[in-house]
Amino acid sequence: MELTTVDQAKQLGLTESEFDKIKELIGRIPNFTELGIFSAMWNEHCSYKSSRVWLSKLPTKNKYVVQGPGENAGVIDIGDDDVAIFKIESHNHPSFIEPYQGAATGVGGILRDVFTMGARPIANLNSIRFGKPEHPKTKHLLNGVVSGIAGYGNCMGIPTVGGEVEFDECYDGNILVNAMNIGLAKKNKVFLSIASGVGNPVIYVGSKTGRDGIHGASMASQEFDDNSEAKKPTVQVGDPFAEKLLLEACLELMKTDTIISIQDMGAAGLTSSSVEMASKGKLGIEIDLNKVPCRETEMQPFELMLSESQERMLIVLKEGKEKEAEKIFKKWDLDFSVIGKMTNSKNLVLHFNKEIVCDIPITSLADEAPKYNREWISTPLPEEINIDKKLNDLDIKDCLVKLLTHPNQSNKSWVWEQYDHMVMGDTIQKPGGDAAVVRVHGTNKAIAATVDCTPRYCFAHPHTGGMQAVCETYRNLSAVGAEPRAITNCLNFGNPEKKEIMGQLVEVIKGMSEACLALDYPVISGNVSLYNETNGVGIKPTPTIGGVGLIQDSNKSTTISIKATGNLLLIIGETKGHIHQSALCYDILHIKKGPPPTINLAEEKKNSFFVRDLINKKIALSVHDISDGGIALTIAEMCMSGKIGANITTNLIDAERIKFLFGEDQARYVIEVKSADYDNIVKLAKEKEVSLLQIGSTKAENLTIDDMKITVEDMLTLNNKWFHNYNSN
């Protein structure tokens, strides 16, 4: 067998010192297949070599966590022996190269992570970020990604119930596609990837293996340049129909007593799935590559091991259960092949054409993978600048209209109406609110879920931005009346070999940790996507957080829609008028300096409990958290959603009024209540030391803020037009 060189190692994305380490670990020079396997396991995407040191600092436990990070997805208890299983994952690099397939297989991958664990997926969410709308590629990428997400999720029959869409020039050369899925299972029916039992058969099921996606995980661990389009062959091709069959077949198999462990073939395909199962079980694994079902002819060991063909699973069965399992997969017209067995050699041994083509210790691939404590520098908190002069000249209506028509704040129904958000018949709150609400089938409880991040805050001050992203999901869940239970995270950053970027990652993780700890809201799963750079320019740090909460009684949940005229509108939480880094400053005035709003974790917690209590008592009739665009845009959205107006009085003028209306102080909500309940609410707020301000009342047709007036209908027209206009020509 031909031995490899350091140049080949470099071509596969390994460094010279990593190549030396491989030689040292196995005591010889690896052959080409072995080197490929090392490069796949040791790339950033699979090994987390730059982030592991820091990820370990994230809180991962509270009383609800059944399974934290390290498995295919995290698991939390939602009562009555039910568990929710969820995770978010990036598919950024493939989606930029081939938006439809990249996004589609992103959805497919996250679905497999969830149903591998025994859950029936019940809700898809996603966070997608594109470059500026004027960029020549943006329209093509937006349309491709949205169709791809729709194409896969709709065919699977799993509702896509929430997400976020944002445009910012920092994503011109590196779009972000983060897909999240939540599934449900019974607590005693959760399946893990820990293999056991020497001699137990290793089974390959699902679609056949082709040459698509070879080295996809390595591509996802590299920067882009002008020739990135040449990487198209590394993008996988999705077949949601095959995945639907695989889902049903796996769930059917899981009802039998045949499975020891199960692992989907995601990034780095057969390599990572076999190594992970063996590594976790502290066993060896032996595979006969001639038994792998192939879609193409003359596939070589290197290709078979590194292909990222979709819709495939690796299962360790109890010995003698092969026939029983095979029958189920045949029923669903899927491939089923016994390709190997678990061994006590502790090595990954691959046979091909009666030769051993790979024989390396599992520990060298997994535990011994490089771990870097990379150099980093912290981003200092930017100083406040005085922009009062500029703000003095602003007209409220003009600001509001500009926000309503800005792509980032426009109504996103053009996007989510392409997603089937109702299939499975349990969607209580569809996209467009603060969080999606999906009923647990056959019960009266519901899961609430949201995905959020504010990259402009993270860029200005990563530490605050990390905290804020966690808090925003916490707030969005609270706003629908859910108790926030845990999060999943997708950390999208630039090149960690640069000190500033590594510093962003470190500070964001530190900020997230503080928030998770204070809110008792741990991280249970996630992934890291680094090297989001093109021609040396990185994206803004984007830690996408997926939050999941529980609603005990589906009838006690709220929406953002104003329910009736003649009610009061109250602000929960203190308004200081922090205007720096606001949507108004950033997107409309293009003032990008200054610090993001401060986070007060105690306030976050207190205000959330207060709002949830009011929802639970059915006193809060509608609730909307205050985020982008401040009080003004928040109330405008409540008016548009309920098709009812409001009357707001500020008693302020000039810059102070602009800051009050458009500032983005955190931990705040707008709630609608009956005026008869007001005194009682004031009393409750005093008791709980919650800041409360009556800001106006609801009324028909118009939104009036002091002397400004706009009809709800006009706001709807303005807010609805951008996506349709942008995509219709």
Partner 1 sequence: MKASVIVFPGSNCDRDVQVALEKFQIATTMVWHQETELPKSDLVVLPGGFSYGDYLRCGSMASKSKIMKEVIKYAGTGGYVFGICNGFQILTEAGLLPGALLRNNKLKFICKDVQIKTINNQTAFTKKISEHKILTVPIAHNEGNYFASKEEIQSLKDNNQIVFQYCDKEGNISGESNPNGSFLNIAGIVNKNKNVLGMMPHPERVIDQLLGGTDGQEIFRSLL
Q: Which of 45, 439, 498, 659 binds partner 1 (CB under 8 A)?
A: 439
Question: Which CB sits closer to partner 1, 426 or 587?
Answer: 426
Least Cβ distance, residue 325 to partner 1 (angstroms): 18
Least Cβ distance, residue 332 to partner 1 (angstroms): 7
- Annotate each residue in 364-403 with x if it binds partner 1 (CB under 8 A) or - if it does not, as one string: ----------------------------------------
Tokens of 277: 């199962």
**349-371: buried (b, 16+ CB within 10 Å) or exposed (e) per residue?**
bbbbeeeebbbbbbbbbbebbbe
Tokens of 696: 């106006």
Beta bridge partners of 537: 534
| Nearest C-alpha neighbor of 40 from the set 313, 194, 234, 297 | 234
Question: Which CB sits closer to partner 1, 21 or 430?
Answer: 430
Q: How far apart are CA 389 and CA 391, in angstroms?
A: 5
What angle (nearest 5°) sits at the alpha carbon of residue 117, between those of residues 113 and 118? 125
Question: Which CB sits closer to partner 1, 162 or 511?
Answer: 162
Only segment of 257-265, 424-432, 655-663, 668-676 that touches partner 1 (CB under 8 A):
424-432
Torsion on CA atoms 111, 116, 120, 122, rounded to nearest 10: -30
Q: Contact, 270 vs 40, CB < 8 A? A: no
Q: Which of 365, 424, 451, 661 binds partner 1 (CB under 8 A)?
A: 424
Q: Which of 421, 456, 510, 580 binds partner 1 (CB under 8 A)?
A: 421
Least Cβ distance, residue 639 to partner 1 (angstroms): 20
Q: How many CA atoms lie within 13 A of 646 on its CB side?
A: 33
- For β-strands 284-288 and 347-352, DSSP reports them as parallel
Q: Which of 326, 426, 625, 637 binds partner 1 (CB under 8 A)?
A: 426
Q: Which of 12, 37, 58, 428 binds partner 1 (CB under 8 A)?
A: 428
Least Cβ distance, residue 417 to partner 1 (angstroms): 5
Only segment of 3-11, 61-69, 237-245, 671-679 that touches partner 1 (CB under 8 A):
237-245
| Nearest C-alpha neighbor of 391 from the set 590, 581, 649, 654 | 654
Q: Contact, 567 vs 529, CB < 8 A? A: no
Tokens of 498: 């640069």
| Nearest C-alpha neighbor of 720 from the set 467, 405, 426, 452 | 405
Residues 542-571 interacting with partner 1 (rule: CB under 8 A): 554-555
State the DSSP code for 101. Answer: H
Only segment of 131-139, 411-419, 523-531, 535-543 that touches partner 1 (CB under 8 A):
411-419
Q: Which residues are known catalytic residues?
A: 45, 91
Question: Which CB sits closer to partner 1, 85 or 155?
Answer: 155
What are the strands, taking DSSP E only, across 237-346?
Answer: 259-264, 284-288, 312-317, 335-343
For residue 557, the Cα-to-chain-centroid distance in whole angstroms is 24
Beta bridge partners of 186: 82
Residues 112-171 interacting with partner 1 (rule: CB under 8 A): 147, 150-151, 154-157
Q: Which of 34, 89, 212, 239 binds partner 1 (CB under 8 A)?
A: 239
Note whether 430 binds partner 1 by CB under 8 A: yes
Least Cβ distance, residue 426 to partner 1 (angstroms): 7
Least Cβ distance, residue 242 to partner 1 (angstroms): 8
Q: Which of 76, 242, 449, 644 binds partner 1 (CB under 8 A)?
A: 242
Only segment of 20-28, 357-365, 421-429, 576-584 that touches partner 1 (CB under 8 A):
421-429
Question: Which CB sits closer to partner 1, 87 or 439?
Answer: 439
Least Cβ distance, residue 265 to partner 1 (angstroms): 20
Question: Which CB sits closer to partner 1, 419 or 586?
Answer: 419
For residue 595, the Cα-to-chain-centroid distance in whole angstroms is 25
Least Cβ distance, residue 418 to partner 1 (angstroms): 5
Question: Which CB sits closer to partner 1, 424 or 685?
Answer: 424
Least Cβ distance, residue 129 to partner 1 (angstroms): 21
Question: Which CB sits closer to partner 1, 88 or 156?
Answer: 156
- Annotate each residue in 186-225 with x if it binds partner 1 (CB under 8 A) or - if it does not, as one string: ----------------------------------------
Q: Please name the residue ranges forming H helices in 307-451.
A: 322-331, 362-365, 388-392, 396-405, 413-416
Question: Which CB sits closer to partner 1, 238 or 546?
Answer: 238
Least Cβ distance, residue 268 to partner 1 (angstroms): 26
Least Cβ distance, residue 421 to partner 1 (angstroms): 6
Q: 70 Cβ partners below 8 Å, 6+ apart? A: none
Residues 270-309 interacting with partner 1 (rule: CB under 8 A): none
Q: How far apart are CA 543 and CA 517, in angstroms?
A: 17
Q: How far apart are CA 412 and CA 419, in angstroms?
A: 12
Q: How far apart are CA 649 and CA 372, in angstroms?
A: 55
Question: Which CB sits closer to partner 1, 143 or 345?
Answer: 143
At 279 the three-state DSSP class reads: helix
Note whether 422 binds partner 1 by CB under 8 A: yes
Beta bridge partners of 587: none
Q: How far apart are CA 282 and CA 300, in angstroms?
A: 28
| Nearest C-alpha neighbor of 101 from the set 180, 13, 216 | 216
Number of residues that bind partner 1 (CB under 8 A): 33
Burial class (CB in 10 A: 0-12, 13-18, 19+), 652: middle
Q: Which of 89, 276, 420, 434 binds partner 1 (CB under 8 A)?
A: 420
Q: Which of 96, 302, 419, 662 binds partner 1 (CB under 8 A)?
A: 419
State the DSSP code for 289. Answer: G
Neighbours of 83 (CB within 10 A): 26
Note whether 413 binds partner 1 by CB under 8 A: yes
At 140 the three-state DSSP class reads: helix
Least Cβ distance, residue 480 to partner 1 (angstroms): 14
Question: Which CB sits closer to partner 1, 430 or 580?
Answer: 430
State which H helix or E strand residue 275 sits in.
helix 269-281
Question: Which CB sits closer to partner 1, 41 or 185?
Answer: 185
- Annotate each residue in 245-264 with x if it binds partner 1 (CB under 8 A) or - if it does not, as one string: x-------------------
Binding site for partner 1 (CB under 8 A): 147, 150-151, 154-157, 239-242, 244-245, 332-333, 413, 416-428, 430, 439, 554-555
